[in-house]
Amino acid sequence: MRHIPGRPRRRLLALLGSAALALGGAVALPGTAQAANILTNPGFESGGLSPWTCTGDLGSVVSSPVHGGSKALQGAVSSSDNAQCTQTVAVQPNTTYRLSGWVRGSYVYLGVNGGNSTWTTSTSAYSQLSVSFTTGASQTSAALYVHGWYGQGTYYADDISLDGPGGGDGGDTQAPTAPGGLASTGKSSSSVSLKWNAATDNVGVTAYDVYSGSNQVLSASGTTATVSGLAPSTSYTFSVKARDAAGNSSAASNSVTVTTDAGTGGGTGFQQAAPYLYEGWGDPPNPSTVMSATGIKWFTMAFVLDSGGCTPAWDGSRPLTGGADQSAINQIRSAGGDVVPSFGGWQGSKLGANCSSASALAGALQKVIDAYSLKAIDMDIENTDEFENEAVQAKILTALKTVKANNPGLRTIVTFGTSTTGPTYYGNRLIEQAQSLNSGIDVFTIMPFDFGGGSDMYGSTVGAAEGLKAKLKSTFGWDDATAYSHIGISGMNGLSDQQENTTPAIWTQIRDWANSHHIARLAFWAANRDRPCAGGGVVSNCSGISQNNWQFTSITAGFTG
């Protein structure tokens, strides 16, 4: 949450409004579905979940309370998992469907992946939710879900219905044969390339789902795929399943285990110790002076915004090149350092919100990458226009996936707010979408300040980071070490707007914890404030506490990852 200190801040747990996402690309007027429930096991009367699948194994079938029949779904929500249960069905392109269901509990959601959703606040008895969506011009499957809200307790769902025509052959229950010959064709420190032999099906194979362990990591239309966003020197076991238009999945292929190459440390030029420097605010210091005094080599440069028409500019008004920002970057590079531009922030006209599509956003990001031959970019995703908008989250993640593919070696960072126990609803949603879209995000950076940290900023920061680690593990199937290696912490030196006080001693504790757990990134807001002014309050050019000049930057320079 980067903004001029003293302005209104983001609430910690936003109570929500559904994000209406358009299932895109239709070029003809949509048809209206005939009323027929095409879901399998819609009331869970089979006594089992299949073909529903639930995250974290948190879904089960219970006998009470029920809405109809004798069974219902129970979702045991935790603080780090919303117990989302999903069923994928075959649908017809360019057709309007109506999804409905009966739910009970606090903040229960019903929706379609990549499309519309609806929710209810808190009900002690069953209430009905319904939402309509229109499939795209070439869409042949849809994943329907129901889930609760993090930390809000168990929910129940029953008698879920998707009204409309089934896709493909409505009577097709025959699964494809299992793909064979799965093998690795190449690897790096962060990716593995795979190939396999085609499967067969009585109607036709429409997709191949690639799994890392038990977690689906991507889908491919052909018989090759590259899984990215992996950790160096880490063993992964992959398998592939074939899927047809009716949603039937094959048995798994043979498995193949691949260990990614060792990381090259600074070989990519990406240094994770990078405090923010803002040329448009807070009496910006001379970066050469700060570097000489502290040993810091990298800065996160704030902020690239939209100057109109999806056009990047510093603060949305200063020129992308040729101004104060380029002058600062030139100084940093002349002193042997480099920069990570940050896109977005708390306020202003943002590219993520304003660019019309993921491809347009990727084009805007590429202009900045080309202008400065960048090795890394940071997307600071905040506020209701980006962080609390699931469609914009998906747009940003898709754009990052595009630029990462087009710029080998580019590191991508997403930065977002947190609670003291880990990601909030929208933070969890961001992580889940990153996994679903196979965005290959290198670092998920939380901002542990203005988050109710109170008097124990060290303990609250560690609690938030551990909560993020748990979410990354459950979403991506990573072990502890791999999850830590994808974590970043971006604090606020001195006083925050909530009067949380991160002192140099506390920041040193946080840095030492970060080093001992080998996380990926350490930053703070901001070098502009890394000056003493005890009793000065929350201002832009000093920390509001007693400290030495550039003391937080010196501490950060000791981060080794």
Question: In angstroms, rounded to a whole number, what is the distance separating the alpha carbons of residues 124 and 347?
Answer: 38
Query: Is 130 in contact with 2 (CB distance < 8 Å)?
Result: no
Strands (E) in 113-169, as ranges, are: 117-134, 141-147, 155-163
Q: What number of other Cβ atoms are within 10 A of residue 327's Cβ?
A: 12
Joined tokens for residue 195: 């190939």
Strands (E) in 44-140, as ranges, are: 53-54, 59-62, 72-75, 85-90, 95-112, 117-134
Q: Which residue has the tokens 């979940």?
A: 49
The values of phi and psi at residue 501, to 5°, are -120, 105
Which helix (H) or strand (E) segment is 181 a member of? strand 180-187
Angstrom CA distances, 393 to 72, 114, 252, 308, stand at: 32, 11, 32, 20
Query: Is 143 in contact with 88 (CB distance < 8 Å)?
Result: yes
Active-site residue, 382 included: yes
Query: Is 49 in contact with 57 (CB distance < 8 Å)?
Result: no
Sheet holding 192-197, edge to edge: 180-187, 192-197, 224-227
Joined tokens for residue 40: 């399998």
Asked if the bond preceding 51 is cis, omega within 30° of 0, the reply is: yes
Question: In angstroms, rounded to a whole number, what is the distance separating the alpha carbons of residues 143 and 112?
Answer: 6
- Helix residue ranges per DSSP H, 265-306: 287-294
According to DSSP, the β-strands at 312-314 and 53-54 are unpaired
Question: In angstroms, rounded to a whole number, what is the distance separating the alpha carbons of residues 112 and 299?
Answer: 40
Joined tokens for residue 442: 């290198």
CA dihedral defined by 433, 436, 438, 443, rounded to 10 degrees?
40
Question: In angstroms, rounded to a whole number, what is the distance separating the alpha carbons of residues 345 and 294?
Answer: 26
- Single-letter residue type at 162: L
CA angle centred on 110, ends 92 and 21, rounded to 5°: 60
Question: In angstroms, rounded to a whole number, what is the distance separating the alpha carbons of residues 1 and 342?
Answer: 12
Catalytic residue among 279, 382, 432, 500: 382
Spatial CA neighbour of 373 closest among 414, 413, 326: 326
Question: In angstroms, rounded to a whole number, what is the distance separating the alpha carbons of residues 540 and 561?
Answer: 28
Largest CA distance in the chain: 75
Question: In angstroms, rounded to a whole number, what is the distance separating the alpha carbons of residues 170 and 92?
Answer: 11
According to DSSP, the β-strands at 95-112 and 141-147 are antiparallel
- Single-letter residue type at 495: L
Task: Return the active site residues.
Answer: 382
